[in-house]
Amino acid sequence: MINTLKYKTIQIFRDYSLPRWLVLAIDISAVFFTFLIAYLLRYNLEPSTFSWALAFKQGLLICSVYIVFMLLFKSYSGLIRQTTIKDTFTIAITNSAAFAALFVITICSRKFDFNPFFNISLSIMMIHYGTVTVTLILFRVFIKMFYVFVSVPSSHSKNVMIYGSGETGIIVKRVIESDPRSGFQLKGFIDDNSKLQGKKVDGYSVFPMSVLTKDFVDTENIKVFIFAIKDISAGKKKEVLESVISLGLEILDTPSFDQWLNGHLQVKQLRKVQLEDLLGREPITLDLKGIEEGLRKKTILVTGAAGSIGSEIVRQLTKYNYKQLVLVDQAETPSFFLDNELKDKFTDCRYDFIIGDVTNELKMDHIFRKYRPEIVFHAAAYKHVPIMEANPHEAFRVNVGGTKIISELAIKYKAEKFVMISSDKAVKPTNVMGATKKICELLVQSQAKRSETETRFVTTRFGNVLGSNGSVIPIFKKQIAEGGPVTITDPEITRFFMTIPEACQLVLEAGFMCKGGEIFIFDMGNPIKILDIATKLIQLSGFEPYKDIDIKFIGLRPGEKLYEELFSDNEQQLPTHNPKISIARVAETDYDYVLSMINDTLKSIYKKSGPEVVEAMMEIVPEYTSKYAATS
Per-residue pLDDT at 130 exceeds 80: yes
**Of 377, 352, 379, whose CA–CA distance to 367 is shortest?**
352
Are both 496 and 418 inside the same structural domain?
Answer: yes
| Helical H segments across 82-202, by residue range | 85-112, 122-150, 167-178
Residues 6+ apart with CB under 8 A from 129: 95, 96, 99
Per-residue pLDDT at 534 exceeds 70: yes
Per-residue pLDDT at 151 exceeds 80: no
Are both 442 and 465 inside the same structural domain?
Answer: yes
Q: How far is CA 323 from CA 80, 301, 373, 380, in A?
A: 47, 11, 10, 22
Per-residue pLDDT at 607 exceeds 80: yes
Of 26-40, 367-381, 407-421, 583-597, least confident by mean pLDDT is 583-597
Residue 229: inside a domain, yes or no? yes
Are both 300 and 393 inside the same structural domain?
Answer: yes
What pLDDT sits at residue 354?
Answer: 94
For 256-294, the pLDDT digits (tens) are 765 665 556 666 677 777 776 676 666 566 666 778 888
For 355-393, the pLDDT digits (tens) are 999 999 999 999 999 999 999 999 999 988 889 999 999
Residue 607: inside a domain, yes or no? no
Question: What gap in Å lies between CA 605 and CA 359, rounded to an integer?
Answer: 13
Task: Lay out the sheet containing 204-207: strands in order across.
Answer: 200-201, 204-207, 184-190, 158-163, 222-227, 250-253, 271-272
| CATH number for 331 | 3.40.50.720
Are both 126 and 80 inside the same structural domain?
Answer: yes
Are both 82 and 166 inside the same structural domain?
Answer: no
Between residues 567 and 629, which one has the greater pLDDT?
567
Between residues 82 and 94, which one has the greater pLDDT?
94
Are both 220 and 337 inside the same structural domain?
Answer: no
Residue 210: inside a domain, yes or no? yes
What pLDDT sits at residue 630?
Answer: 43
DSSP letter string over 183-230? -EEEEEEE-S-TTTTTSEETTEEEE-GGG--HHHHHHHTEEEEEE---
What pLDDT sits at residue 152?
Answer: 52
For 206-252, the pLDDT digits (tens) are 888 888 888 888 888 888 888 888 777 777 888 888 888 878 788 88
Residues 6+ apart with CB under 8 A from 124: 35, 38, 39, 42
Residue 615: inside a domain, yes or no? no
Are both 176 and 320 inside the same structural domain?
Answer: no
Question: What gap in Å lies between CA 64 and CA 500, rounded to an integer?
Answer: 55
Please compute the mean of the pLDDT values over residues 34-40 and round it to a whole number: 88
DSSP letter string over 542-572? T--BTTTB-EEE--PPTT--SS--SS-TT-E
Are both 459 and 410 inside the same structural domain?
Answer: yes
Please compute the mean of the pLDDT values over residues 65-78 and round it to a whole number: 85
Are both 192 and 310 inside the same structural domain?
Answer: no
Residue 567: inside a domain, yes or no? yes
In the structure, how many helices (H) and strands (E) does the chain have?
Answer: 22, 22
Question: What gap in Å lies between CA 157 and CA 173, rounded to an integer?
Answer: 14
**Of 510, 419, 418, 414, whose CA–CA distance to 454 is shortest?**
414
DSSP letter string over 312-352? HHHHHHTTS--SEEEEEES-HHHHHHHHHHHHHH-TT--EE
For 497-527, the pLDDT digits (tens) are 777 777 888 888 888 777 777 888 877 777 8
Of 10-14, 206-210, 401-405, 449-453, least confident by mean pLDDT is 10-14
What pLDDT sits at residue 631?
Answer: 46
Residue type at 252? L
Question: What gap in Å lies between CA 529 and CA 532, rounded to an integer?
Answer: 5
Between residues 299 and 584, which one has the greater pLDDT?
299
Are both 165 and 142 inside the same structural domain?
Answer: no
Residue 128's domain spans which residues?
2-150
Task: Give the three-class secondary structure for 589.
Answer: coil
Give the end of a domain, one of 273, 307, 337. Answer: 273
Residue 612: inside a domain, yes or no? no
Residue 611: inside a domain, yes or no? no
Question: What gap in Å lies between CA 539 and CA 251, rounded to an integer?
Answer: 10
As a whole number of Å, the end-to-end CA separation of the chain is 82
Contact between residue 415 and residue 451 where contact means Cβ atoms under 8 Å apart? no
> How many domains would you assign to the chain?
3
Are both 338 and 196 inside the same structural domain?
Answer: no
Per-residue pLDDT band for 586 (boundaries 50, 70, 90) equals confident
Per-residue pLDDT band for 81 (boundaries 50, 70, 90) equals low
What pLDDT sits at residue 150?
Answer: 56
User: Percent of the chain having pLDDT more than 90?
Assistant: 23
Please compute the mean of the pLDDT values over residues 414-418 and round it to a whole number: 93
Question: What gap in Å lies between CA 9 and CA 7, rounded to an integer?
Answer: 5
- Catalytic positions: 425
Please compute the mean of the pLDDT values over residues 476-493 and round it to a whole number: 88
Residue 140: inside a domain, yes or no? yes
Question: What gap in Å lies between CA 305 and CA 148, rounded to an integer?
Answer: 51
Give the end of a domain, one of 150, 181, 206. Answer: 150
Are both 93 and 52 inside the same structural domain?
Answer: yes
What pLDDT sits at residue 470?
Answer: 60
Give the end of a domain, one of 150, 173, 202. Answer: 150
Please compute the mean of the pLDDT values over residues 44-59 and round it to a whole number: 84
